Amino acid sequence: MKITDIDTLMINSPGRKWTIVRVHTDDGLIGLGEATYSQKEPVVCAAVEHMKTELIGQDPSRIEWIWHHIYRRSSVSGIWRMAGPVWMSAMAGIDIALWDIKGQVAGLPIYELLGGAFRDRVDVYTHFGGATPQQQAEMALQKKEEGYFALKGGASWRDRAALDWDTYLDDGDPATTQANFEAVRDAVGPETKLFIDCHGRFTVANSIRLAKRLEHLDLFAYEDPVAPDDLTAYPKIRREISIPIMGSERLNTKSQFRRLLELDGIDIAQPDMMYSGGLTEAKKIAAIADTFHVPISFHNTKGPIGILAAAHLEASIPNPAPMEFVTGIDWRDEIIDEPLRVEEGRLLVPTGPGLGVKLNMEGVEAHRWRVGDPR
């Protein structure tokens, strides 16, 4: 079997364009992957086009070789061991599609190729928000009543426009954030796992100040309190607070995660499968985290292909934590032939070959986005 073509499709979802990668073969099999990098989607598609110039004619079963060929060996598409989210997202789309093909050839779901099922469904968390504590509490309670037992909200802002993401001025408005999360905790009770996302916005000092206002609420995770530019900032915060720290979707390689773990910077590792190069690299990140007794929670604001790729990996490893799952996109399942199934806060992992789904091209065309269309 040989690769005959690689192409991309962008889907016009809220806030981002889901970037689907298709790897075509001379046997007629088509593997699906996802390469979504929010607001940078056309650039990622261009990277895929660049990579494919030397992948045409290659054997799609050589997944590890192809990954390393692109990452460190090639003089055409390779970047000599340099990694960034655009390039790694493009690699991820191709990599996931190759795993999908391998599963189709074997007649097995991807999780079976990764070591077999540790579980048949994976815990997920979804989101709450609102302009007031009451609105946030109401939305969180609604999600709990829908069956979700893990929920995430964000740190607040004093004046988002004025701060303009200024790390040195932004402190997450501790009083407002505390009021929001107290209202949510009162509404959903003590058993619901609550995450707070800081989006890498704060200094070490402001991260600690904010966390101290929230420690009494028994939060499950304090996500990305600082930017990962300086990994030594994470352990400085971790030593001072009792809330487990989770990070970071902004890292791109197993080596970066290994360093953060060696620094004792996190309690939960949170790779983004797209930004970290796909299943091949993410499985290694999970294994490294396991040696530090640290679970994995995938950052996952993706379409159904990216969601399922992460679910297959979480289904096969011993150290998962609830992974992200965006709700409220009612038409999401229209682009695939089998709907995503969430029962009591857990995503059921498909048992069909590969990822377990195909594209529904009628749905794809109904929601497709092309360069030049309004964003």
Instruction: Mark 7-17 as b/e (b = at least 16 C-beta within 10 Å).
Output: ebbbbebeebb
* Euclidean distance between CA atoms 373 and 342, whole angstroms: 32
Q: Before 248, cis peptide (omega within 30)?
A: yes
Contact status, residue 359 vs residue 136, Cβ threshold 8 Å: no
Q: How far apart are CA 178 and CA 8, in angstroms?
A: 43
82 pLDDT tier (thresholds 50, 70, 90)? low
Active site residue 199: yes
The residues that bridge with 348 in the sheet, in sequence order, are 121
Give the mean model confidence (pLDDT) for residues 45-63: 95
| Annotated active-site residue in 69, 127, 299, 312 | 299
CA–CA gap between residue 235 and residue 185 (Å, rounded)? 27
For residue 125, what pLDDT is reported? 98
Task: State residue 3 phi and psi, 5-degree precision.
Answer: -75, 130
Please give the Cα distance from 221 to 227 (Å, whole number): 16
Query: Cα–Cα distance between 276 and 146 in angstroms, integer?
Result: 31
Tokens of 11: 């889907």
368 three-class SS: strand
* pLDDT value, residue 81: 63
Which amino acid type is present at position 98?
A: L
Angle between helix 304-316 and helix 85-106 axes, rounded to 10 deg: 70
Q: Round the average pLDDT of the chain to a whole number and report it.
A: 95
Burial of 255: CB neighbours in 10 Å, binned 0-12, 13-18, 19+: middle
- Residue-level pLDDT at 151: 98
CA distance 56 to 19: 20
Cα(364)–Cα(9) distance, rounded to whole angstroms? 8
Q: Is the dihedral of CA 118, 90, 57, 364 positive or negative?
A: positive
Q: Say how far apart CA 127 and CA 64 lie, in whole Å.
A: 35
Domains detected in the chain: 3-107 (3.30.390.10), 113-348 (3.20.20.120)
E strand segments, the chain: 3-13, 16-25, 30-34, 121-127, 150-154, 193-197, 221-223, 245-247, 268-269, 323-324, 342-343, 346-348, 368-369
pLDDT of residue 75: 55
Radius of gyration from C-alpha coordinates of the chain: 20
Give 5's contacts (C-beta < 8 A, 6+ positions apart).
Answer: 22, 23, 24, 52, 56
Which pLDDT tens digit goes with each residue over 125-138?
999 999 999 999 99
- Provide the percentage of residues in the chain whose pLDDT is more than 90: 88
**Could you give the CA distance from residue 179 to residue 361 in angstroms, rounded to a whole number?**
46
Confidence of residue 78 (pLDDT cuts 50, 70, 90): low
Task: Say whether pLDDT at 335 is over 80.
Answer: yes
Please give the pLDDT value at position 371: 84
Is the pLDDT confidence value at 158 over 90?
no
> Predicted confidence band at 164 (pLDDT cuts at 50, 70, 90)?
confident
Question: pLDDT at position 277, please?
Answer: 96
What's the pTM value of the predicted model, to 2 decimals?
A: 0.96
Mean pLDDT of 233-239: 98
Query: How do beta strands 221-223 and 150-154 pair?
Result: unpaired
Name the β-bridge partners of 368. Answer: 11
Average pLDDT, integer, range 153-175: 85
